[in-house]
Amino acid sequence: MSLRLRLLVASLVLLVFGLTAAGFLSYSSLSSFLRSRTDAQLEAAVANVRRVITELPAGSTISKQDLGAAAPGVWVQLRGSDGATALEVQGYAWLAKPLTPALPAALPALTGTTYLGPMAWLTTASHEDGDVQFRVVVATTASAQTLVVGASLQEPQRTLRRLVMVELLAGALILIVAALIGIWLVTLGLRPLARMEAAAETIAEENLAGRLPGDNARTEVGRFARVLNTMLSRLELAFAERKASEERLRQSEERLRRFVADASHELRTPIAAVRAHAELYQRRGDKAGDARPVMAKIELESTRLARLVDDLLLLARLDEGRPMATQPVDLGALAADAVDAARTVDPTRAYGLTIDGSVEVRGDRDRLRQVLDNLLTNVQMHTPVGSEATVTVRAVGRDALVEVADRGAGLGEADQERIFERFFRADASRTRASGGAGLGLSIVAAIVTAHGGTVAAAPRPGGGMVFSARLPLLVDPA
């Protein structure tokens, strides 16, 4: 059973109980009133008859006409002291079939001390019509006669039956109207729930941004909608975090697979070269002049292999999140040392150095020096010989900014997004001897990230690239 139907049925059931209780109370009140009025009529008739009998001259008896005039509209019977009927007046002579009460063979004993003396009350059916009731009172007169007065309850019964019919018809009409109004009110009251239901059907795992309408805090439905919207917000955040985590895991797995494949490929080349030269030396033996160049090749490839293994080991340690050294480092002095070393290695290139004030960060001096060395090595390997390079160190807000700019061929937009990936080489045609393994800039990104910074690559106006690294300043600039 739906909530709408349950609410409607509950309301109608309560209304039925209320109408039944009201009908019962009104019926009981009217019945009591009508009986009290009939009893009052009978008492008045008894008082009148007693008065008329008391006022009769001595030795005379009351006539039938006087008895009827003293108690009009009621049935009156006057019995002698021996119990025999002396007079009887039919107060319902106008009826086609006059009605008389069916009295018991023995009248009830008189009790009480009312102003009319001891009395007895009884309700009995009519002789002529068993459906008609009579209200009868038994009293005595001053001459020790028994006075029996009865009033028909036919009219009160009809009145009560009409009341029952009116109550039934009115109750049925009220129930119909109440049902119609109840349907309208329940539909109106549950309309926010219907809108919430329609909105909830459109909300799924892929559409958690939707919200339920009607979050008015002044109503129960509104408060319920607000609670559900809060829950949906939390679910949306949880699903977003889960999807982001899954995406990061997928990307991490892809990077790991690519890293393993690239590392295996890069390691296989020098290992194969060492093995080939060793086999060559083994075939030729130690003939004069043959051993020295072969051993030189083996040493060169071994050095390259060791450098590649060191780079991979460094990246693995950075990925593990091992803590870095935290000491104050003057980036200006560090950049000056790196530029001096680059000039020594590549004296044909013009290196510019700009240091704007004292720029200090907290970190590992050797690793930060490696960042500068790798950026300058990248310039030496991928820009024309003799082209200029500029190193700038300055503070920008709360960050220290290190920029290395060159005048090379630059990079496309797609390459700029992947330049810091491991084993990525923008020019795939380069040999490993001239282009490297593609780990230099990925090491730069890993070291800067470990220091809480960021790296970026952007085109330089006039041609070339600008590689920048942002690190948190040790102290705010003046």
263 and 131 co-located in one domain: no
Same domain, 456 and 392: yes
User: Do 79 and 58 form a contact (C-beta atoms < 8 A)?
Assistant: no
Residues 27-31, mean pLDDT to the nearest whole number: 93
Q: Residue 106 domain-assigned?
A: yes
Asked if residue 340 and residue 306 are part of one domain, the reply reads: no
Residue 103 belongs to a domain = yes
Tell me: do 382 and 249 sit in the same domain: no
Specify whether 335 is located in the same domain as 308: no
User: What is the average pLDDT across 270-295?
Assistant: 68
Q: At which of 131, 160, 189 does a domain end?
A: 160
CATH code of 295's domain: 1.10.287.130
Assess if residue 270 is contained within a domain. Answer: yes
Q: What DSSP element (H or E) covers 369?
A: helix 365-382
> What order of strands is seen across the sheet that includes strand 389-396?
351-355, 389-396, 399-406, 465-472, 454-459
Q: How far is 119 from 139, CA to CA, in rounded Å?
A: 5
pLDDT for residue 467: 92
Q: Which domain holds residue 79?
A: 3-160
Distance CA 12, CA 17 (A): 9
| 3-state class (DSSP) for residue 138 | strand
Confidence at 137, pLDDT banded by 50, 70, 90: very high
The answer as to whether 381 is a domain residue is yes
323 or 9, which is more confident?
Answer: 9
Residue 27 dihedral angles phi and psi, to the nearest 5°: -65, -45
Q: Is residue 199 domain-resident?
A: no
Domain C-terminal end among 109, 137, 160? 160
Q: What is 59-123 written as a DSSP string?
A: T----HHHHHHHSTTSEEEEE-TTS-EEEEE-TTTTSSS---B---SSPPPPEEEETTEEEEEEE
Residues 366, 403 share a domain: yes
pLDDT score, position 429 = 40
Tell me, what's the pLDDT at 34? 93
Of the listed ranges 3-17, 252-266, 326-340, the one predicted with least confidence: 252-266
Asked, for residue 198, whether it belongs to a domain, the answer is: no
Q: What is the pLDDT of residues 413-434, one digit of tens each?
A: 767 777 877 666 665 444 444 4
- Tens-digit pLDDT profile for residues 153-181: 888 999 999 999 999 999 999 999 999 99
Residue 203 in domain? no
pTM for the model = 0.48
**Does one domain contain both 138 and 233?**
no
Mean pLDDT of the chain: 82
Whether the pLDDT of residue 298 is over 90: the answer is: no
Asked if residue 41 has pLDDT above 50, the reply is: yes
**Residue 7 sits in the same domain as residue 143:** yes
> Which of 245-254, 351-360, 392-401, 455-464 has the weakest average pLDDT?
245-254
Question: Do 379 and 451 reside in the same domain of the chain?
Answer: yes
> Are 301 and 340 part of one and the same domain?
no
Looking at the 3D structure of the chain, how many domains does it have? 3
CB 87 within 8 A of CB 67: yes
Domain boundary among 270, 297, 322: 322
3-state helix, strand, coil in the chain (%, to 5): 55, 20, 30
Q: Supply the pLDDT for residue 11.
A: 87
Task: Examine the domain organization and report whether 132 and 250 are in the same domain.
Answer: no
Give pLDDT, residue 170: 93
* % of the chain with per-residue pLDDT over 70: 83
User: Would you say residue 46 lies in a domain?
Assistant: yes
Q: Are residues 298 and 334 in the same domain?
A: no
Q: Please tell me the least confidently modeled range out of 314-328, 343-357, 415-429.
A: 415-429
Q: Is the pLDDT of residue 138 over 90?
A: yes
CA distances from 55 to 43, 142, 389 (A): 18, 11, 149
Lowest mean pLDDT among 26-30, 69-73, 184-188, 306-310: 306-310
Structure tokens at 47: 């008082």
| CATH number of 339's domain | 3.30.565.10
Residue 437 has a pLDDT of 60
